[in-house]
Structure 1
């Protein structure tokens, strides 16, 4: 099992990858003339890569059998949210810049995450919103506004 330090490092790498992905998909969107088409290409390539890794790791049959128990809403919801995220960032990055686009996305991500944690929504473990967490959210939102407007 991965420890907290490894998970934190992976989260840092994830944040770096999200910023780079926004630039890459925005460029692809300009080249293709459509941020939606760029997202489709990105998802196709990603799906092929993930299918290859899944097959190499022992197949996908047992995992699909387990996932069927969740119902189609989880499958469809996750796919639609992913498509919205990738297409939107490809659209927004050229218009706002990478910094502001990521700042607003991350601020909104944190607000949503804190709400999910606080209320224990969608099966998450409850983590109450305290003063320190609230201050962190306020500071991140303030940072996003500073990056965009100053």
Structure 2
């Protein structure tokens, strides 16, 4: 039970970090007059921070055999989606506000996650679609509509 609470807390903190970095980096994008430049800077510095953490934690190195067994598309597609998603956050936050952006983004994330889980794509655990999940998505869409509805 404590492990589940820790995992939930870390997931909530990760979500909060995404909202904070989106707000900060969209401001950077506005000041640079280029959301794409802000994304590029964010990814370069994120890479430096991640690589530094690997060195500090003395993580095991990757062997050539391991590199050769990984399908080519896995080296690039995640980064492509990440660059698109982050760049869109930086572009859209000043246009629609962070609350609206995060509500729409959360909706997209949950719907895609349910599809991925239902089919067990990417070797993730299969979590079949259920009426409860469908009702949850309907409620989510209604909630997103309420968050973004203005008279």
Match of 2:17 in 1: 17
Residue 138 of structure 1, CA deviation = 1.3
What is the deviation of 1:113? 0.3
Q: Which residue of 2 aligns with 1:132?
A: 132
Q: Gapped runs of 5+ residues in structure 1?
A: none
Confirm whether residue 29 of structure 1 aligns to residue 21 of structure 2.
Answer: no
| 1:48 equivalent in structure 2 | 48
Tell me the number of residue pairs that the alignment of Structure 1 and Structure 2 aligns: 149
Which residue is equivalent to 2:87? 87
Between the aligned partners of 1:100 and 1:86, the Cα distance in structure 2 is 15
The CA deviation at 1:107 is 0.4
Q: Which residue of 2 aligns with 1:119?
A: 119
Q: 1:64-84: per-residue Cα shift (whole Å, max 9, x none)?
A: 763542122111011111111
- Per the alignment, do residues 4 and 68 of structure 1 end up closer, same or farther by CA in structure 2, a change over 3 Å counting? farther
Judging changes above 3 Å, is the alpha-carbon distance between structure 1 residues 93 and 60 closer, same or farther for their aligned structure 2 residues?
A: farther
Shift of 1:134: 1.3
Q: Helix, strand or coil for the counterpart of 1:61?
A: coil
CA distance in 2, matches of 1:72, 1:31: 37
Q: d(CA) in 1 for partners of 2:134 and 2:44?
A: 38
The structure-2 alpha-carbon separation of the partners of 1:51 and 1:68, relative to structure 1 and needing over 3 Å to count, comes to farther
- TM norm structure 1: 0.91
Where structure 2 has 5 or more consecutive residues not aligned to the other structure, the ranges are: none
Rate the CA distance shift 1:63–1:20 in 2: closer, same or farther, 3 A: farther
Report the alpha carbon displacement of residue 11 of structure 1 after superposing the two structures with TM.
0.5
Partner of residue 103, structure 1: 103
Q: Does 1:71 align with 2:71?
A: yes
In 2, the alpha carbon distance for the partners of 1:30 and 1:65 equals 44
* Residues in 1 aligned to 2:118 and 2:146: alpha-carbon distance in whole angstroms: 27
